Chain A
């Protein structure tokens, strides 16, 4: 488009900008521009008006100026040459509600006003051909469905030479169908958009800040942070960090490869250890998200039971319409009364509203950062009575804290902390981090006193200070392997301490000098969550953990679990779930780690907390991409509301349409009025189902 584009700022409100242009964009230009603008920082959603070229930008509050500034750098030329994925191009036949009504109104006007009287019957017949054809097809395929019903109603009207009502019925059917199509498509599109914005997110380094952005907004040069256990989302070069990357999904090689600065990493490989900051070198075009979306909306297996029931019922109800019509005709010998049955059907409303209700629920969850992989799981969740939690990372922060230090042999707490931090800082381990963090917090500085530390896998660290051997590590390492003796009185004390804490032993020259008490704190909202779950009527709340008995019992008591089991293996977790299911309980597993994945897949509903590994997220039916447990409660409430809405729909649709049939048969309303009321009510129920739940 070679032109002078004039852009003016028409309105600016908090989080909302309207730009007016003097150019009317075509379908491709619209899609390309939306794609470009939505990639900008802070922009949430963009809408472009078809006929005026006005652009509406929704963005974060207080970021309007920045968005306007960024928009001014965007090139509006050559919008046809874009790198956007073809799936984002607006389909040719997409219509706005206004256009649906306008087109039908024009047609109606043409037939009713401009067309000379004698032509109308002929044209009505011509118009009816597609409807009759569809009806015939159903008849040939022995399908007693709505199309046959419609064709019969239109056919009878034409035979009766009631062309007026035939054409009214057809107009209503067309509007109804287009509106229904519109609501369905819009719901689906909203869901896709919401998933793309809220689920597929990555952390990037922005200056010194960590910021979470939608994956689709990632650009070349961005620095993406990848943590242990996660899939590397993009192709890039390691900018900072050190890690072991498993590239088996690309190369088939199952041994992880070490990646350091300047090494290339590829999308789809998994970071097994360490952490990396990756500089993006290639734009990503299609994310895996679109596969998930297709899976969610297409797969029959993932549909809610209630939805399937509505769909099956919809088809089977059609035959009753025919039976009713025939019976009325035989009894009353009045075909107008009989026709009342054909004007109204239950099926389109039943078929339409269920998917809309389910997709709306999924979108609402997604806006809260919860990915639900199918209506079925929401339905099961609403009926759940047993919830099984993993401990570490799910109920607790998985970020141990050094709570206290007990010293012996005249060492001060500060000294002990200094020595411990000095040794531990060389090893990236969560417990080590806890020690180092505490040292930083207490401003304990330290010089490197020791010789090169040696790391003894899963036991501890050994080094030398002033020629004396220094050890830090587990009881097993210090006492059994290294033979440090612990006085009886301390041992007695330790029994009590171990009930609540994990203990790190520090010794110098074969003498115990300090015990470091470490605790993995429970999440701030864990207690409330358990209480709320009980209020929602969950009968059994269980915790299964691979951790020690002491750590497990302290958390279980603090939170008020019904039952807990410690030191379980992954297999034990899934066995427990199988047993619960055999007892007839609908069981939900909430976990985060790789060791939970079997249990997650065995449970009726597997829920993964997103701080966890990608593999768990892959397997889970629902993922919560936030660390707040409270989202679990919200999701259950939402699922119950969905169930209620589906049941209500059911009742309302049957009630309204039955009423219309009765009114029609008793001839209190005319055939065309009941057709109008039927279609209007269907569209109304569909729109009503797009409403928010919570």
Chain B
């Protein structure tokens, strides 16, 4: 129980102190920078995900077209062979 009171007390002090700290210019600048960096990181992450997504979709689409052509070729071949054998 004592430990718990201490823990909450400590966090209260920590909170109050951090409010004071945030007011100082140095800390404020640093915080702004960190947040800005974070935003940048998020943006580039988003960009990468979109990029990966589009590349993956292109690959799948290309594979699909390839498959379609191969199947078409195959069936054309069979038809040709049939014509030849008929002749």
From A14, A52, A98, B54 is in contact (CB under 8 Å) with A52
The smallest beta-carbon distance between B55 and chain A, in angstroms, is 9
Q: DSSP class of B's interface residues: helix, strand, loop or mixed?
A: helix
CB nearest neighbor in A for B38: A106
A-B Cβ contacts below 8 A, count: 44
Q: Does A10 count as interface, using CB distance less than 8 angstroms? A: yes
CA distance A50 to B45 in the complex (A): 13
Q: Does A56 count as interface, using CB distance less than 8 angstroms? A: yes
Produce 1/0 per residue, A1-43, CB < 8 A to B. 0000000001101101010000000000000000000000000
Q: Is the CB of B10 within 8 A of A18?
A: no
Q: Give every chain A residue within 8 A of B49 (Cβ-Cβ).
A: 51, 98
Produce 1/0 per residue, B30-48, CB < 8 A to A. 0000000000000100110
Of B8, B53, B54, B65, the most chain A CB neighbours within 10 A belong to B54
Q: Is the CB of A13 within 8 A of B61?
A: yes
CB nearest neighbor in B for A10: B58
Q: Is the CB of A116 within 8 A of B57?
A: no
Q: Is the CB of A51 within 8 A of B50?
A: yes
CA distance A102 to B47 in the complex (A): 13
Q: Give every chain B residue within 8 A of A51 (Cβ-Cβ).
A: 43, 46-47, 49-50
From A11, A13, A18, A116, B14 is in contact (CB under 8 Å) with A116
Known: A52-B51, A98-B53. A16 touches B61 (CB 8 A): yes
Q: Does A467 count as interface, using CB distance less than 8 angstroms? A: no
Q: Does A118 count as interface, using CB distance less than 8 angstroms? A: yes
Known: A10-B58, A16-B61, A18-B58. A119 touches B11 (CB 8 A): yes
The smallest beta-carbon distance between A657 and chain B, in angstroms, is 33
From B11, B47, B65, B68, A52 is in contact (CB under 8 Å) with B47
Q: Give every chain A residue within 8 A of B11 (Cβ-Cβ).
A: 116, 118-119
CA distance A56 to B58 in the complex (A): 10
The smallest beta-carbon distance between B63 and chain A, in angstroms, is 10
CA distance A11 to B46 in the complex (A): 21
CB nearest neighbor in B for A50: B50
Q: Does A49 count as interface, using CB distance less than 8 angstroms? A: yes
Q: Give every chain B residue within 8 A of A16 (Cβ-Cβ).
A: 61, 65
CA distance A10 to B61 in the complex (A): 13
Q: Does A54 count as interface, using CB distance less than 8 angstroms? A: yes
Produce 1/0 per residue, A577-617, CB < 8 A to B. 00000000000000000000000000000000000000000
Q: Give every chain B residue within 8 A of A10 (Cβ-Cβ).
A: 58
Known: A14-B65, A118-B11. A56 touches B50 (CB 8 A): no
CA distance A56 to B57 in the complex (A): 10
From B54, B61, B65, A49 is in contact (CB under 8 Å) with B54
Of B7, B10, B51, the most chain A CB neighbours within 10 A belong to B51
CB nearest neighbor in B for A58: B61
Q: Give every chain B residue within 8 A of A18 (Cβ-Cβ).
A: 54, 58
The smallest beta-carbon distance between A95 and chain B, in angstroms, is 12
The smallest beta-carbon distance between B76 and chain A, in angstroms, is 16
Q: Give every chain B residue within 8 A of A56 (Cβ-Cβ).
A: 54, 57
Query: Using a Cβ–Cβ cut-off of 8 Å, how many residues does chain B contribute to the interface with A?
Result: 20
The smallest beta-carbon distance between A121 and chain B, in angstroms, is 10
Q: Give every chain B residue within 8 A of A54 (Cβ-Cβ).
A: 50-51, 54
Query: Using a Cβ–Cβ cut-off of 8 Å, how many residues does chain A contribute to the interface with B?
Result: 17
Q: Give every chain A residue within 8 A of B54 (Cβ-Cβ).
A: 18, 49, 52, 54, 56
CB nearest neighbor in B for A15: B65
Q: Give every chain A residue within 8 A of B15 (Cβ-Cβ).
A: 119
CA distance A551 to B68 in the complex (A): 48
CA distance A52 to B43 in the complex (A): 10
Q: Give every chain B residue within 8 A of A119 (Cβ-Cβ).
A: 11, 15
Of B7, B49, B62, the most chain A CB neighbours within 10 A belong to B49
CA distance A513 to B43 in the complex (A): 87
CA distance A13 to B62 in the complex (A): 7
Q: Give every chain A residue within 8 A of B58 (Cβ-Cβ).
A: 10-11, 18
CA distance A119 to B8 in the complex (A): 9
Q: Is the CB of B7 within 8 A of A118?
A: yes
Within 8 A of B (CB), among A49-63: 49-52, 54, 56
The smallest beta-carbon distance between A591 and chain B, in angstroms, is 40
The smallest beta-carbon distance between A593 and chain B, in angstroms, is 42
CA distance A672 to B20 in the complex (A): 39
Q: Is the CB of B50 within 8 A of A52?
A: yes
The smallest beta-carbon distance between B51 and chain A, in angstroms, is 6
Of A13, A51, A56, A98, the most chain B CB neighbours within 10 A belong to A51
CB nearest neighbor in A for B46: A51
CA distance A83 to B11 in the complex (A): 57
Known: A13-B65, A16-B61, A118-B8. A49 touches B14 (CB 8 A): no
CA distance A52 to B52 in the complex (A): 10
CA distance A119 to B14 in the complex (A): 11
The smallest beta-carbon distance between A14 and chain B, in angstroms, is 5
Of B10, B61, B65, B68, the most chain A CB neighbours within 10 A belong to B61
CA distance A418 to B47 in the complex (A): 73
CA distance A49 to B57 in the complex (A): 12
Q: Give every chain A residue within 8 A of B7 (Cβ-Cβ).
A: 118
CB nearest neighbor in B for A14: B65
Q: Give every chain B residue within 8 A of A11 (Cβ-Cβ).
A: 58, 61-62
The smallest beta-carbon distance between B42 and chain A, in angstroms, is 8
CB nearest neighbor in A for B9: A118
CA distance A18 to B60 in the complex (A): 13
CA distance A119 to B12 in the complex (A): 9
CA distance A10 to B65 in the complex (A): 16
CA distance A306 to B69 in the complex (A): 43
CA distance A52 to B48 in the complex (A): 8
Q: Give every chain A residue within 8 A of B43 (Cβ-Cβ).
A: 51
CA distance A98 to B49 in the complex (A): 9
Within 8 A of A (CB), among B56-82: 57-58, 61-62, 65, 68
CB nearest neighbor in A for B66: A13
Q: Is the CB of A49 within 8 A of B53?
A: yes
Produce 1/0 per residue, A227-269, CB < 8 A to B. 0000000000000000000000000000000000000000000
The smallest beta-carbon distance between A683 and chain B, in angstroms, is 19
CA distance A14 to B68 in the complex (A): 10
The smallest beta-carbon distance between B15 and chain A, in angstroms, is 8
Q: Give every chain A residue within 8 A of B53 (Cβ-Cβ).
A: 49, 98
Q: Give every chain B residue within 8 A of A118 (Cβ-Cβ).
A: 7-8, 10-11, 14
A and B contact pairs by CB, cutoff 8 A, 20 listed: A11-B62, A13-B62, A14-B65, A16-B61, A16-B65, A49-B50, A49-B54, A50-B50, A51-B46, A51-B47, A51-B49, A52-B50, A52-B54, A54-B50, A56-B57, A116-B11, A118-B7, A118-B10, A118-B14, A119-B15
Interface pairs A-B: 4 shortest CB-CB: A118-B11, A51-B50, A51-B46, A52-B50
Extra inter-chain contacts (11) besides given A13-B65, A52-B50, A118-B10, CB under 8 Å: A11-B61, A11-B62, A13-B62, A14-B68, A51-B47, A51-B50, A54-B50, A56-B54, A98-B53, A118-B7, A118-B8
B interface residues with partner A (beta carbon < 8 Å): 7-8, 10-11, 14-15, 43, 46-47, 49-51, 53-54, 57-58, 61-62, 65, 68
